[in-house]
Amino acid sequence: MSSGWDPQRYLTYADERGRPFLDLVGRVAAVEPRVVVDLGCGPGNLTSLLPDRWPAAAITGVDSSDAMIRAASDSSAAERVAFHRADLRDWLAGAPADSVDVLVSNATLQWLPEHLDLMPALVRAVAPGGWLALQVPGNHDEPSHTLRAELAAEPPYDVHTAGVAAPHAHGARTYLRALQALGCTVDAWETTYLHVLRGPDPVFTWISGTGARPTLQALPDGLRARFEEELKARLRAAYPDDGNGVVLPFRRIFVVARKG
């Protein structure tokens, strides 16, 4: 398996992954923003919706993955969105203060263990009266994550998977209080979606494109196939298909803040 993100695998459940983005941006009440930035834009399929919402804005998508930025730049979205490859932290370090009217980060910050410490930098980049909108998964205690972690900690996998990246997020209240302390008016909430997935081993397909990706990439070829089969079996037991599809409960955490 090649390293990095796989845009096509990530887009397997594009509709389900897109719903939180739409719910997040729908709570941003900006009327005519001049500058809109999507931090962690991925393959650009969701960023491409922002010009429809704010047609007069200059819109930029930023992502650290070469593969994701290539996919975004090769898509029709590139006609209306400027895509740039950059680490989110580096982008924040170089962003002028008060320069962005709407700053969006959808399903990205969970990959940065210290992301709560980035809240001051995120707010600093937003113009007075502007908006910061972020969404992170909050399902890390679900079997889709715990089964992967348990199996990865067993021999012979553990020697290869120790210390691999794993997503992590805080509760909505934690983000609300952190942003209030920075002078923002904050709307924070949680939603649990019940995604009905179909096809062979759909939960494995879902997580292999996101949360399980670093673990799978850390394993050598021979062990990876063995690991995948065992993980699929455990996931099938945890998420049975009764003939009407597999139900994947997915909790998401949303925060929309307006800078004072």
Could you identify the residue written with the tokens 């983005």? 21
Answer yes or no: is pLDDT of 1 > 70: no
The dihedral over CA atoms of 177, 179, 180, 182, expressed in degrees to the nearest 10, equals 130
Mean per-residue pLDDT, 207-231: 94
Contact 92, 37 (CB under 8 A): no
Task: Classify 170 in phi/psi space as left (phi over 0), alpha (psi -120 to 50) or beta.
Answer: beta
Interacting residues of 91 by C-beta distance below 8 A, sequence separation 6+:
39, 62
Amino acid at 46: L
Residue 104 lies in a domain: yes
**2 domain-assigned:** no
Written as one letter, the residue type at 242 is D
What's the CA gap between 257 and 81, in Å, rounded? 24
Tokens of 152: 């990865």
Which residue range forms the structural domain that includes residue 220? Answer: 7-259
Domain presence at residue 90:
yes
Of residues 12 and 154, which shows the higher confidence score?
A: 154
The reported pLDDT for the residue numbered 48 is 94
Give yes or no for residue 37 having a pLDDT over 80: yes
Would 28 be classed as within a structural domain? yes
Residue 56 in any domain: the answer is yes
Residue 1 lies in a domain: no
pLDDT over 50 (residue 3): no
Q: What is the pLDDT of residue 7?
A: 56
Q: How large is the average pLDDT for residues 225-233?
A: 98
The verdict on whether omega for the bond into residue 156 sits within 30 degrees of 0, i.e. cis, is: yes
Q: What percent of the chain has pLDDT over 90?
A: 90
User: What average pLDDT score do residues 48-68 get?
Assistant: 96
pLDDT exceeds cutoff 60 at 55: yes
- Residue 73 burial by Cβ neighbours in a 10 Å radius (0-12, 13-18, 19+): middle
What φ, ψ does residue 134 adopt, rounded to 5°?
Answer: -135, 150
Q: What is the pLDDT of residues 112-169, one digit of tens each?
A: 999 999 999 999 999 999 999 999 999 999 999 999 999 999 999 999 999 998 899 9
Q: Kindly report the number of other CB atoms within 10 A of residue 241's CB atom.
A: 16
Residue 244 has pLDDT above 90, yes or no: yes
pLDDT tens column, 165-199 = 889 999 999 999 999 999 999 999 999 999 999 99
The CATH number of residue 123's host domain is 3.40.50.150
Q: Which amino acid is at 259?
A: K
DSSP string over 163-224: T--------HHHHHHHHHTTTEEEEEEEEEEEEEE-SSSHHHHHHHTTTTHHHHHHS-HHHH
Average pLDDT, the chain: 94
- Residue at token pair 């695998």: 9
For the chain, how many structural domains are there in total? 1
